[in-house]
Copies of this chain bind each other. A is one copy, B any other.
């Protein structure tokens, strides 16, 4: 299980230039639920996160689902009656409906039309459409281009794709910590040329991974998953669902984190989970979030992979910090969700919030007293003044608080809140008591 890999080159923090460069290299690849576009993306991302790459064969059953066939595309276009090649896959891979079957056929407009997709609300944008679980084919066009197509004559439909047994590719990596309680970051990789609703996730995951991998004496274990949306998290829960149920301290979906708009936090399905309390505390004191505004929402069962993690059988403490919520900005699922729309500074602001979250988690712990019955004798460990009679200092009181609340149920944050003693004093007491063998790690 220990898979900590920390090659030198991924230790360097990424500036906007590097992020943008990574974005550019990932942008044109033809990703879908499966296929070589995903594998190529992992090859590039591997320079930043040394994912363990897993392949799960088409046809494997996972809960109510089946791993789909693998889809790959070499080329695709439509030829108009007047011989123009339009909707060229090589111009923009959004032109071809995801999972379109291979085809080379000439059709009249009347038969073609039900296979053409446009977005009336975004007349200049190519919509993003897929047909994963029903064999079909289709082309996506801007409304403007569509309106000008001749309504008569024959069109040639050319799709040089393969749709056959293969495998689904996903990557994960675990950065072990002292504790086996895990912090989970899940993102997806399955959309072709989409920016906020695809690349903002893996880019942010790279930033977070670098940050966590660089943490000295990491306390918690961090798990990163990058997989196709929905079927990918279902595959992962099929393998790790029970493990995550018993080990997850906090979990986060990385999706749609790059628009220059306010922060939205979507809570986990549980009421007031550790994740929820943590994110809300951090957001409420984060300067940037304060400036652009913060919206807190209760869980709802649509959106991204929280649908799977928060299904009633798992009900994991997984929340999602977003800037630009899926389905709620007009460019969503269209060619207009592109680099022009994305704000790299906005994405970096989200990263700053995650750094604070990770710092908070890293600084928070649950302890158990090794002497729960009566107080331990601190003088044995030199932690108590030899001379009795003086009013005790705040340092001694902090020791008392920590010992009294080291019951596996109160976190350090709880102790700080209840004692009203500054966190650094409490932290110091904890390390003293830990060293003296008076308390030990334990509880949630």
Contact = CB atoms under 8 A, between A and B. Distances in A.
Interface stretch (A71-79, A168-176, A280-288, A383-391): A383-391
A119 to B, nearest CB: 9
A406 interface: yes
Interface string A361-388: 0000000010111111101100000111
A72 to B, nearest CB: 18
A374 B301 contact: no
A134 to B, nearest CB: 4
Contact of A65 (B307, B310, B374): B374
Contacts of A390: 127, 129, 333
Interface stretch (A21-29, A157-165, A393-401): A393-401
A108 B365 CA distance: 52
Interface stretch (A143-151, A180-188, A311-319, A342-350): A311-319
A205 interface: no
A430 B404 CA distance: 41
Nearest to A66: B377
Contacts of A64: 371, 374-377, 380
A386 B314 contact: no
Interface in A196-238: 230, 233-234, 237-238
A127 to B, nearest CB: 7
A234 B373 CA distance: 9
A234 B374 contact: yes
Nearest to A315: B407
A107 to B, nearest CB: 19
Contacts of A377: 64-66, 133
A391 B332 contact: yes
A98 interface: yes
A66 B284 CA distance: 49
A388 B231 CA distance: 13
A404 B97 CA distance: 30
A163 to B, nearest CB: 15
Contacts of A376: 63-64
B380 A302 contact: no
A397 B301 CA distance: 7
Contacts of A405: 301, 312
A391 B328 CA distance: 9
A313 B419 contact: no
Contacts of A127: 389-390
Contacts of A397: 300-302
A392 interface: yes
A375 B64 CA distance: 8
B307 A375 contact: yes
A388 B129 contact: yes
Interface in A112-159: 117, 127-134, 136, 138
Given A129-B388, A307-B400, A312 B134 contact: no
Contacts of A93: none
A298 B307 CA distance: 40
A403 interface: yes
Given A302-B397, A386-B134, A404 B237 contact: no
A193 interface: no
A51 B389 CA distance: 28
Contacts of A98: 388-389
Given A63-B373, A129-B389, A238-B374, 4 more contacts: A65-B377, A302-B397, A311-B375, A332-B391
